[in-house]
Structure 1
Amino acid sequence: MGSISVNTENTAAPGVPFYTPAQNPPAGTPLNKDSVPTLFQPIKIRSLELHNRVVVAPMCQYSADDGHLTDYHLVHLGQLALHGTGLIIVEATAVEPRGRISPQDSGLWQDSQIAPLKRVVDFVHSQGSKIGIQIAHAGRKASTLAPWIGGTANKTLAEEDVGGWPNDVVGPSAIPFDETNALPKELTKAEIKGLVQKFAETAQRAVKAGVDMIEVHGAHGYLICSFLSPLSNQRTDEYGGSFENRSRFAREVVEAVRAVIPADMPLSLRLSATEWMEWAGQPSWTVEETIKLAKVIPSWGVDILDVSSGANNYQQRFPDNRLFQIDIAREIRKALRADGIDLIVGAVGNITDAQTAYDVVQEGPEAAGELALVARQFLREPEWVLRVAHELKVPVKWANQYSRAGPRTDFSKKF
């Protein structure tokens, strides 16, 4: 009579330089994969496979030390991997010191910044989740204070005495974002070429740190975004004027990044789909121009379009509709599919509840995208993925160490 073999080893997570139990499958994976909503179905993008469609959108934390991530970031991002997210994107990470939004922003312009990023990457991987990074240049919105400081002091600009660089802020044209921001210096063509190279070098460092994907930040009024808009870009050379000229810097950056990262690594581009300035009666960046750009970026090597909006002009006027940004993502996706373009769309903006998350990615013609990017809701509820699964009646794996708790079913009891 044969004996029953029981594996009593607490198997270690592979490929990380420390011991932690392997999460197999990762938290947030459905236990029964039959008839689960699209939100909890896997997706493969080049070589990257996500176990669900929930993505942690980049969120500035103003907590880096001369661009270096710290233990704060390990805890902040690590808890989100522990609670089941499919992909985490590290906050906007500057390609040069003057490209930071604030003196405490994340950076990857020098090799010493690789190791602290890798520490975060290793932990996320140990939980079975994937991690990307958003590389960025703040442009004319650089050298500002962390929002809780600026709000308290009724001030935006970070002066030199607090580590700022108000006299070395740059942009496509010498047009400030508003009266509280620095007056930017117009970039020369040589400086533009240098910045393209810095984006590429930053991407190479991110690859060395072990990230699974890279996103280029072309939204929210930062440098690439400000080149796209005719309101902030009034150049008369080959980087200004026509749609093709205004999008030239974005193309050069994306193509330079694509050229230095692995061929099987996904590349994402975040755009502000409109700057919400149509009301002013002047040429501005619009959804129509975003659709035009979206149709060509696959030829640049982009796999994911991350659809955001606004923040390039302080006079912007948002619509009175909580899900306006998701509606734009849906419009862009429909236009792409109508032309047979399978560019993956990420929808973001006020995804705070289970039903909205479900609707955003549920397979079908009305889907707003293939990925649901969530930001501030994770600051409220790090375990949001698990709660959404519970509300959608999708049993999912919990982290081994937390599995004895599981979702509460009887709320009349204290514990």
Structure 2
Amino acid sequence: MNTSTHSNSPSVEPLFEPLRIGSLTLPNRIVMAPMTRSFSPNGVPGENVAEYYSRRAKNQVGLIITEGTVIDHPAASGDANVPYFYGEAALKGWAKTVEAVHQAGGIIFPQLWHVGTERKVGSEPNPASLPVGPSGVTAQGEKVNEPLSITEIQLIVEAYATAAAEAKRIGFDGIEIHGAHGYLIDQFFWEGTNKRTDEYGGDMIKRTRFAVEIIEACRKAVGPDYPIVLRISQWKSTDYTAKLAATPELLAEFLAPLSAAGVDVFHCSTRRFWEPEFEGSDLNLAGWVKKLTGKPSITVGSVGLSNEFTSLFTEGKGASHANLDELLERLEKQEFDLVAVGRALLNDPEWVTKVREQRFNELGEFQAESLRKLY
């Protein structure tokens, strides 16, 4: 990825075309990627959270997807400062956030989340609750609990559906279900963490059953036209080289039941959006998912940064802003439909406005310091 800007660069116009999803029309193709911020003490998002999201809405972000916000289950979270999506105080805080974003002309979805066995034993906010997962094992193979019972699985499915209904009730414009990065839903997808021999385990299609039930329950709770996004990834937070589906054929097999269950948009998380997903094709993960399902997809992964995002944590590096030519070319070819921007937008709330006005020289260099404040 080079960082120069040329006079013959492709037009930024493809980024600013509207897109219809269900009953919703997004004004442009730029999405604020969900990023855990841990600025909600006791799970309650305050004024600072509302201001943080509305600041991006004022600056033309087409769709805001909130940080991961946990469903009503005692083991859903491993951090007392991650927001809840249940309880009167947290939902009031989210209602104020929605109102602030809408007043600024924005569109916002919550990301519904359960961390599963990624949660450390004894962690807040419920230290007595053990982590849960399909087989009670972590990605490293350590046993931390018994496998979830069918009854417990059904309760978690219901908790997702309740969260979806609450999202609609308090005015959110749609929802995203977090099925990526080695968290609970992904632990069911992944054969390394799902050793079950019942209807929730087995081959790749059987391992989608838990997610399918969640999507169907959410769909029933919100009705036919309310947008549902599913975030998926090949990589895990514990293994960047992981491949859930090693071939396009396996990916098609994996996606079919999820698509049929009621997903409107697939949010395809990669570390570097420009990398091809499989040999023999330039398509990235979002490109393959759109091709295989016919549904809109969101690409994400170091958009607008000169370094891919994980080096920002591991090496404490900053990143200068990157040339957007390749992104624009792929979008123009309709390889994917939407572009999620994370760290670049964290660093500069005006990123979208500056890109639209082609003020590329004003895009600030990303600093890891931006992760430590809520602005």
TM over 0.5: yes
Q: Distance in 1 between matches of 2:297 and 2:274?
A: 16
Alignment-derived partner of residue 232 in structure 1: 193
Cα 1:372–1:284 shift into 2, 3 Å:
closer
Q: Distance in 2 between matches of 1:292 and 1:214?
A: 24
One-letter code aligned to 2:220: A
Q: Distance in 1 between matches of 2:325 and 2:226?
A: 29
Q: Deviations over 1:43-83 (max 9, x none)?
A: 11111111111000111111223222112211221211111
Alignment-derived partner of residue 388 in structure 1: 355
Q: Deviations over 1:319-354 (max 9, x none)?
A: xx6733788993455556656x42001000010145
Q: Deviations over 1:13-66 (max 9, x none)?
A: xxxxxxxxxxxxxxxxxxxxxx86210111111111111110001111112232
The number of equivalent residue pairs is 330
Cα 1:105–1:336 shift into 2, 3 Å:
closer
Q: Aligned match of 1:116 in 93, 99, 103?
A: 93
Q: Give the conservation status (yes or no) of the 8 Å contact 1:326–1:360.
A: no
Alignment-derived partner of residue 220 in structure 1: 181
Q: Distance in 2 between matches of 1:343 and 1:263?
A: 16
Alignment-derived partner of residue 130 in structure 2: 168
Alignment-derived partner of residue 274 in structure 2: 323
State how 1:56-135 maps to structure 2 within 5 Å. 56-96=32-72, 97-135=74-112
Secondary structure of 1:306 counterpart: strand
Cα 1:41–1:392 shift into 2, 3 Å:
farther
CA drift at 1:284: 5.0
One-letter code aligned to 1:207: K
Secondary structure of 2:201 counterpart: coil
Q: Distance in 1 between matches of 2:254 and 2:287?
A: 14
- Quote the sequence identity (%): 28
User: Which one is further off, 91-100 or 355-364?
Assistant: 355-364
CA drift at 1:110: 2.6
Cα 1:357–1:196 shift into 2, 3 Å:
farther
CA drift at 1:242: 1.3
State how 1:7-406 maps to structure 2 within 5 Å. 37-96=13-72, 97-143=74-120, 159=122, 163-165=125-127, 167-178=129-140, 183-275=144-236, 285-286=245-246, 288=248, 289-309=250-270, 323-324=274-275, 330-332=283-285, 335=288, 341-352=293-304, 353=322, 355-356=324-325, 358-359=327-328, 362-364=331-333, 367-391=334-358
Tell me the TM-score normalized by structure 1.
0.71
Q: Distance in 1 between matches of 2:171 and 2:277?
A: 31
CA drift at 1:387: 1.8
Tell me the TM-score normalized by structure 2.
0.79
One-letter code aligned to 2:258: I
One-letter code aligned to 1:171: G
User: Which one is further off, 259-268 or 247-256?
Assistant: 259-268
One-letter code aligned to 1:204: A
Secondary structure of 2:297 counterpart: strand
One-letter code aligned to 1:265: Y
Cα 1:392–1:291 shift into 2, 3 Å:
farther
Cα 1:117–1:322 shift into 2, 3 Å:
closer
Q: Give the conservation status (yes or no) of the 8 Å contact 1:67–1:113.
A: yes
Alignment root-mean-square deviation, CA: 3.1
CA drift at 1:305: 0.5
Q: Distance in 2 between matches of 1:70 and 1:292?
A: 42
